[in-house]
A and B are shown apart, each in its own frame.
Chain A
Amino acid sequence: MTRYVLGRVATALGALWAVYTVTFVVLYLLPGDPVTMLLAAGDVPAENLSAEHLAGLKSQYGLDQPIHDQYAHHLWRLAHLDLGESFSRNVPVSELLADRLGPTLALGSLAILLAVVGGGAFAFLAVAARSGRVRDLLRRLPAAAVSLPPFFVGLLLIQVFAFRLGWFPAIGSDGGRTLILPALMMALPAAAMLAQVLTRSLDSTLAEPYVVTARAKGLSRTAVVTRHGLRNAAPAAVNLSGLLLGATVAEAVVAETLFSRDGLGRLAHEAVLDQDIPVVQAVVLVAGAAVALINLVVDLIHPLLDPRVVAARRAG
């Protein structure tokens, strides 16, 4: 088991290094450079500055060095857990991360919780409902929900629950009430996807001969779904949850921008536009680490849910 875990951790670290390197190369290949972006953001085009002025600014950020030197420099610092300083904000990147990680963690956790609870409950209803017509309808809804653009859903939520009903604030990140609408927006596609997968795997479980036996024993439909169905369908859903976390990080970009929230998503979006390389790198590392971590957890939970995985590994 220890070897298995160590192997997984090494894979995760390798993936992080690859992500870091690819991001670095992509950012450097983009046209323009951080200094020009910073100065050309507003009314004033940077080309108006003299060559000496620009060169001075570039050397201040180390941008005049060859790309491989810059890469080595950044990687060396990273190995010492130094994330460097933001180009465009004049503060250490670690400070930015500390400031923005909390709100995104809170938002992401609530969104995933809503997605798992909502998606699970939906799948349960879609399978356990007595009326065949209701079951049919419930099976079709997730497909519709998946195809709604999150941005549009977010605008609708704001219009209805913030501006019309006034139940929740439309903007900001102070307090739990500001979490609800963006978390709902992020949870909807994830919940819908989860509901689809769970419904399908519940269906196939319920078609198994032992379920027929269980029914014949006199178990109710609900009891069969709870005791036999969910247990067998859970591994697929847990696997999917790992993937959903990655999607959640991506959706935080939209949610935090639309709802004017602080967080890593919005920071990442702005840093990419600024070509603020140290910040983008740091956000990518954090997001990558989160995905690697959740996948590791999923891998570790999987054998507990489904002993066949361990058995297969021993046999193989």
Chain B
Amino acid sequence: MSSHAKGHIRTLSLVAVLSLVACDGDAGKTAQDSLPTTGGTLRVAFWDDAQRCVDPNQVYWIETRSVDRQIADSLTDQDPATGAIVPWLATGWTVSDDARQYTFDLRHGVTFSDGAPLDAPAVKTAFDATFALGAKSVLGLTYLAGYASTTVVDQDTVTVRFDRPNAAFLQATSTTTLAILSPASYRETPERRCAGRIVASGPFVLDEFTAGKKVHLTRRKDYAWPSPLVRNRGAAHLDAITFSYIKEASVRVGSLTSAAIDVVWPREPISEPDQNLIRRTGGRIESRPLPGVSYQLVPNVTSGRPLADLRVRQAVQKLIDRETYAATVYWPGYPVVASVFDSTTPYFTAQAAALAHDPDGASRLLDEAGWLLGPDGYRYRDGRKLTLLDPVTAALPGDQLIQDQMRRAGIELRLMVVTAAKRVDLFAAGDFDLALAFLTRADPSVLGSALDQAVSKQGTARYSQDPATAAKVSALFAQGLQSIDPAQRGRAYAELQRYVVETGVSFPVCERVQTVGLSPRVQGFAFTSEAFLRTNDLWLSGPDS
């Protein structure tokens, strides 16, 4: 099967122009009749930057990927509504039937902010350099899995080859991780790129990056090649954007309500009282589940451990009350997790029945497995207590809720509080019963880095499946990458989701939702497909403060 997207871009541009004329959509009700005003500085507050690197090719920190989206463009873009890949710096592409060869036609007239043209050699330089980063780009490693070469066909055509099928690569080209930097940037060392020596083709230019302290971006006046998903076809409305870092949640929200900043962008969902506070002061909340691996616990099925028994795993699956978790740890109406993927992930299929809360069914399974209730309310078999070891860095309310849900059925969930480094050691050594997994990417292949023994060395992959289960899981992951035919990928990932939930290879706990608090001035806010910030259409109404 071949896909060709040339000409597609013209239609989408037309749609964008029409919707601008109609002036509908997400401009917000206060500004429905007014056209966007140009100017002003958007002030965004994150919570932290622990990776301390701004180079999009190396960044895995989700907040910094929101910074990078304003600076750097990608070959393609992904529609947040449908997950479809649409043209951007590439006007079209063809993919070989075996998903090993991708040919991109590049857009004319795109330049980096240092004046260099974005052409085929520039794309080759970027992909080669990103692949060469190796471990310095943990995401790049999986996005470019099997990368063999990029060939310059002519000035505006490149062919990327893989030595094994990589059907997820098309989505990868839409990410900031595979954003194209100027050839001059790749003459800098990776360390200097991390520290801010990067030039790209985005609507904003990076002026200052001090990790965890301040990022300053200025508008590029001659920007004219936005993604078709953007309404504004030219330079950004904002003059500049600053990103600051505020660790304490109450100070963050207070800064928003006292108009010291315009956007709060924390990692943990904004609490319900804080959301109400923001709304009371005229602000609003935007949210989008982070696509990719949902927040989940993965078992250690090594023989001798309690979760080696399928019936115990199925019991645990039934004992997690996900509706209560979403409503109490977060708030009523918070999305309830329904798969190993968050609902915004392409090819997500709900496994609601298999994930239903069923304590009676769980008790029957545990009885059958020989774990019988003792006088102290816990279950025992051959004198051994049914204890599950869960290494955590802090016993959070959600962990304690699951601990309680397990205790009601007679399972002791032991929350062992350790440092982050110690937990890495425990996960690697298999010294646990439940390990944590989550990862953001708007393609289901991302679960492979947590569960697929064929590609991942992680403890969550190594210990969660016996050889027979692992063979089946790896085969399904491979099927998902073999062809870019959506029907075939869809079948593989639907079967994968059903299989890992039913056999207890993973226990989904909750969706990860990116919540953002906006001041009343912010208009035209948009999320990218991966729930990052996109500011092309964003503008500030009212007086500058």
User: Which residues of A approach B to under 8 Å, CB–CB?
Assistant: 30-33, 36-50, 53-54, 56-57, 88-91, 99, 155, 158-159, 162-163, 166, 169-172, 257-260, 262, 270, 273-275
Contacts and interface: CB of A to CB of B under 8 A. Distances in A.
B424 A42 contact: no
Interface string B420-439: 11101101100000000011
Interface residues of B, number: 49
A54 to B, nearest CB: 7
B250 interface: yes
Contacts of A30: 419, 421
A227 B255 CA distance: 48
Contacts of B227: none
Interface string B60-75: 1110000000000000
A239 B493 CA distance: 71
Q: Which of A88, A90, A158 has the most CB of B within 10 A?
A: A90
A56 B61 CA distance: 22
Contacts of B240: none
B134 A163 contact: no
Contacts of A257: 247-248
B139 A260 contact: no
Contacts of B285: none
A36 B251 contact: no
A246 to B, nearest CB: 24
A90 B422 CA distance: 25
Nearest to A39: B138
B398 interface: no
B421 A50 contact: no
A274 B245 CA distance: 17
A159 B139 CA distance: 40
Contacts of B50: 41-42, 273-274
B477 to A, nearest CB: 15
A262 B210 CA distance: 10
Contact of B439 (A36, A44, A169): A44
Contacts of B139: 44
B456 interface: yes
Nearest to B293: A43
B521 interface: no
Q: Which of A43, A169, A274 has the most CB of B within 10 A?
A: A43
A155 B250 CA distance: 8
Interface string B236-252: 00000000111110110
Given A47-B457, A90-B192, A169-B260, A37 B420 contact: yes
Contacts of B449: 44, 48
Contact of A43 (B60, B192, B211, B428): B60
A47 B248 CA distance: 30
A41 B51 contact: yes
22 contacts: A30-B421, A31-B425, A32-B425, A38-B51, A41-B50, A42-B60, A43-B60, A44-B138, A44-B439, A45-B458, A47-B427, A47-B459, A49-B141, A56-B134, A57-B136, A89-B195, A162-B254, A170-B255, A258-B251, A260-B244, A260-B245, A262-B213
Given A42-B60, A47-B458, A260-B244, A53 B424 contact: no
Interface string B13-53: 00000000000000000000000000000000000001111
Contact of A46 (B52, B61, B424, B440): B424
Interface in B266-324: none
A5 to B, nearest CB: 39
B400 interface: no
Given A56-B135, A57-B135, A32 B62 contact: no
Contact of A42 (B51, B254, B427): B51
Contact of A37 (B62, B192, B246, B421): B421
Nearest to B461: A48
A40 B254 contact: no
B459 to A, nearest CB: 6
